[in-house]
């Protein structure tokens, strides 16, 4: 007799914690994820600034789940969900396949939002993936190296100007770490430049840094950023980004900031899959593409489909949508697993999902952070220690926790950065892939061309302009 089939899209906090909670349930789980690792996104900025290696925040999924026998891990990107046939269509490297399900958990996370200006991404990478972090690492450390070669003071200043867009936790942490590099870690290592003269500019269209933390902590964070030499430009909207600079509009009017290194840490949106699932299920989405879910985290009209974390829009006690943070996804994953297990054991379903807010934290610099936990507002050293403990706790795997603590000791107690290696491939691979196309699809196109050549001409009733083979798809639009 076939056991209940659970398909999980996404190996982030929501998907991973749901799978772990189902380890003893009478189900067969298929996990679909676009990468072979689980990513701890809150520490991506530390990979980008040379504090941690990518392996410390991205353990292999198969290693994490190696003791859970009811899980089949599959690499690929979910493209389409057929809610009637209960089938997920997946685009994998060199092969497409389908996964059937009885229950579906959609937890594919979020992507960077450029608010309709996707062309900005070419010059200002986001902070949502390991690829983003490694590219930024190459750009940040490369900027100091190239600045050291410049003989033109104007060019040198342009290479030593770093602009971070977005004054939320990610943007504040990123600006703080670049400032630490410039003022503490790198001075004395270059013959022709003084890294302390680097400009770090934090830009946001709203009127406060860390605006969700409250006025008190926002003011503390702003003061600390100023002490570190970060220039904070609030109520400032980005209107254009290109190779050599960024253009903004503020109360002072239109301004261009010459800069070779830009970081985009403003705005998130649900992936295209969320809208596709919502359309297939007849559900609504919000402006960010998140699915409006029922109180039990299911998609309206489809109790067999759960949407978790950044994929869902569910109002909290204050009437506002729950934030896209790790704890919402973790608690949602455990809740969905509990609902599934209760259904299988024919037990009453639990009460509607209720998020327990464990607080918000953000680091600003070494020994300085802010934390909002319930009614308590902490800043400074004690908030920083709390931030360390919480983030170590949520890292997956003892080895990752141990090496992370060691690297933090090197970076925070000393003046070194253990992960400063950056390559040209990291800096330019994204642009090359965009120019030359998906390498796996090109391989498939070549294989298909060989097969067609061997088989001879095959009649087709397709429209003349419609690409059907991988060779045609690989070259379409070029």
Active-site positions read 173
Distance between CA atoms of residues 192 and 471, nearest Å: 51
Asked whether the beta carbons of 48 and 162 are under 8 A apart, the reply is no
Q: In the 8-state DSSP scheme, what is residue 3?
A: P
Largest CA distance in the chain: 75
Torsion over CA of 232, 233, 237 and 242, rounded to 10 degrees? -70
Asked whether the beta carbons of 335 and 135 are under 8 A apart, the reply is no
Give, for 254, the enclosing helix (H) or strand (E): strand 253-258
Going by C-alpha positions, the residue among 371, 264, 313 that lies closest to residue 44 is 264
Distance between CA atoms of residues 184 and 301, nearest Å: 56
Q: How is residue 464 written in tokens?
A: 């003349």
Q: How is residue 240 written in tokens?
A: 């254009």
Distance between CA atoms of residues 66 and 143, nearest Å: 41
Within 13 Å, how many C-alpha atoms sit on residue 165's CB side?
31
End-to-end CA distance of the chain: 50
469 φ, ψ (degrees, to nearest 5): -95, 160
């Amino acid at each position: 007799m076939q056991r209940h089939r659970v398909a999980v899209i996404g190996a982030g906090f929501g998907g991973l914690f749901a799978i772990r909670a189902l380890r003893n349930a009478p189900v067969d789980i298929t996990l679909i994820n676009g990468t072979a690792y689980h990513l701890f996104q809150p520490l991506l900025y530390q990979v980008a600034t040379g504090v941690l290696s990518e392996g410390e925040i991205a353990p292999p999924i198969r290693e994490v789940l190696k003791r859970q026998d009811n899980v089949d891990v599959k690499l690929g990107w979910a493209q389409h969900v057929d809610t009637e046939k209960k089938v997920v269509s997946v685009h994998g490297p060199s092969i497409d396949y389908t996964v059937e399900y009885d229950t579906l958990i959609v937890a594919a996370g979020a992507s960077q939002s450029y608010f309709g200006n996707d062309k900005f991404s070419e010059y200002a990478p986001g902070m949502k993936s390991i690829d983003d972090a490694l590219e930024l690492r190459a750009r940040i450390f490369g900027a100091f190296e190239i600045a050291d070669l410049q003989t033109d003071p104007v060019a040198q200043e342009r290479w030593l100007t770093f602009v971070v867009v977005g004054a939320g936790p990610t943007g504040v942490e990123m600006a703080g770490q670049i400032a630490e590099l410039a003022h503490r870690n790198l001075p004395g290592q270059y013959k022709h430049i003084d890294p302390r003269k680097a400009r770090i500019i934090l830009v946001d269209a709203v009127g406060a840094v860390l605006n969700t933390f409250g006025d008190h902590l926002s003011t503390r964070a702003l003061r600390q950023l100023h002490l570190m030499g970060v220039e904070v430009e609030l109520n400032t909207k980005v209107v254009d980004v290109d190779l050599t600079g960024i253009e903004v509009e503020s109360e002072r009017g239109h301004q261009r900031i010459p800069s070779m290194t830009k970081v985009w840490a403003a705005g998130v949106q649900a992936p295209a899959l969320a809208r596709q699932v919502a359309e297939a299920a007849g559900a609504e989405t919000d402006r960010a593409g998140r699915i409006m879910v029922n109180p039990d985290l299911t998609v309206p009209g489809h109790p067999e489909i759960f949407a978790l974390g950044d994929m869902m829009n569910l109002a909290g006690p204050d009437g506002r949508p729950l934030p896209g943070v790790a704890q919402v996804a973790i608690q949602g994953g455990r809740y969905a697993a509990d609902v599934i297990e209760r259904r299988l054991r024919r037990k009453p379903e639990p009460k509607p999902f209720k998020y327990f807010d464990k607080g918000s934290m953000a680091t600003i610099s070494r020994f300085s952070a802010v934390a909002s936990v319930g009614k308590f507002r902490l800043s400074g050293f004690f908030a920083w220690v709390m931030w360390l403990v919480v983030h170590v706790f949520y890292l997956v795997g003892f080895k990752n926790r141990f090496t992370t603590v060691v690297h933090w000791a090197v970076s925070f107690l000393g003046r070194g950065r253990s992960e400063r290696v950056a390559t040209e491939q990291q800096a330019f691979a994204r642009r090359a892939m965009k120019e030359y196309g998906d390498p796996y699809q090109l391989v498939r196109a070549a294989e298909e061309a060989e097969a067609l050549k061997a088989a001879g001409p095959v009649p087709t009733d397709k429209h003349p302009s419609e690409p059907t083979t991988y060779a045609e798809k690989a070259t379409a639009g070029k």
